[in-house]
Amino acid sequence: MTLAIIKTGGKQYLVKAGDKVKVEKLAGVEGDKVNFDALLLAEASGKTEIGKPLASTKISGKILAQGRKDKVLVVKYKAKTRYRKRVGHRQPYTLVQIEKI
């Protein structure tokens, strides 16, 4: 089993070939190829490579979809002043299938 830890959008993801991962929004449309250069750890055949980041190995993937996550509601309330405020936020994401490590 080949595993890798990639860094994209300020977050780290543990992936292997064939995985579908929701990452922070990436530029591109469905079907585009994407390469992850910030590879922090790679494991294959019992050998583990650790780097900051690794320059020797690249991860390639394919964009499957662009979307927005579920709405998160933020509510502000102050007692006795009739102040109520409700704001919603939907974070954009990109669904990527890891093709090759």
List the beta bridge partners of residue 7.
12
Please tell me the distance from the alpha carbon of residue 101 to that of residue 99, in angstroms, as a whole number.
Answer: 7
Query: Which has the closest alpha carbon to 68: 50, 42, 39, 89?
Result: 89
- pLDDT score recorded for residue 44: 82
Of how many residues is the chain composed?
Answer: 101
- pLDDT score recorded for residue 78: 98
pTM value? 0.84
pLDDT tens track for 11-66: 999 999 999 999 999 999 999 999 998 889 888 888 888 888 777 778 999 999 99
